[in-house]
Amino acid sequence: EEQALEEASRCIECKKTGCKAGCPVDVDIPEFVKAIQDGDMPEAVRILKSKNSLPGICGRVCPQETQCEMTCNLAKKGAPIAIGRLERYVADWERAHPEVSEQQKGHMKTNARKIAVVGSGPAGLTCAADLAKLGYEVTILEALHVAGGVLMYGIPEFRLPKVIVQGEVDYVKSLGVEIRFDQVIGKIATVDEILEDGYAAVFLAPGAGAPMFLNIPGENFSNIYSANEFLTRTNLMKAYLFPEYDTPIKVGKRVAVFGGGNVAMDASRCALRLGAGEVYIIYRRSRVEMPARREERENAEEEGIIFKLLTNPKRFIGDEQGRVKAVECYEMELGEPDESGAT
């Protein structure tokens, strides 16, 4: 609490609020920071929840350094306000005081119109919550057996605790949203059939579940995983608890992870926790171009992840049993930026 008050007091209450302009969901950042300064935590919760139904999640994984914190006026000469950490503080305070949310919900209006939301990831949960607040009768159709989508199966426990995700899901349900599991749309029903069932509209939020591959020789050797499969086994199927859970992942003494984004950082840190001796992140550009959050890169390096930059895979090499044993790589050089800005 003391640290949060100290950080909030750094806000200089700008007339031109760059921080708010940098927020994709238009949270009134100056006002919720002011509420923290004043010690009015229920008001801070109200301001946040009026625009963002998942502050506990956003406060932990949203890339604030390229959004609201980057546009904070204090960032021009020094450190910006730690907006993400303050958001997390407010969300955690609310979780410890559930009566506040109940009081603020008040009497919810209804309009008797039914909306179906396909998928319960961040987009699906946000859409469902916003619609419920507007009085719609919302049903989420989730393909898996748990709600949360990539928040549950894609982001490791050490970065986004499952209890936080479940708390946000429970909040959405408390707004009157129904969640149905094992609902694979396209197999059990089509969008047209959902509409014929009395729903006024369908919001599609299935997530980007299909993996991307490198398309290089040897990619089909065993013990080569897509990030989707590796993280799903680790997080959702709890492979890190083997042998208590029967979804083991074969992790060798040396592990290579290809890519430079947050997913690569998550996969590399999971590999360490699964027993790998050395873990390498192989990325074709330099540290400057890495899309991963600075905090995630720093955490990976602190844990001993080895960064092999300006390196790109050429082919995988297997043993007689068809298992990967090595990877041959190219050394890269940065070129002139193309139309997209990539080098």
- Give yes or no on whether 2-104 and 227-331 have one common fold: no
Q: Which residues of the chain have pLDDT under 50?
A: none
Give the separation between CA 179 and CA 142, rounded to whole angstroms: 7
Describe the crossing of helices 83-96 and 41-51 by its angle, rounded to 10 degrees: 110
Is the preceding omega at residue 243 within 30 degrees of 0, hence cis?
A: yes
Q: Map out the domains of the chain as residue ranges.
A: 2-104, 109-204, 227-331
- Note the CATH number of domain 227-331: 3.50.50.60
315 contacts 328 by C-beta, under 8 angstroms: yes
Tell me which fold the domain 109-204 belongs to.
FAD/NAD(P)-binding domain (3.50.50)
pLDDT score, position 343: 66
pLDDT score, position 162: 94
Residue with tokens 């929840």: 49
- Note the CATH number of domain 2-104: 1.10.1060.10
pLDDT score, position 237: 79
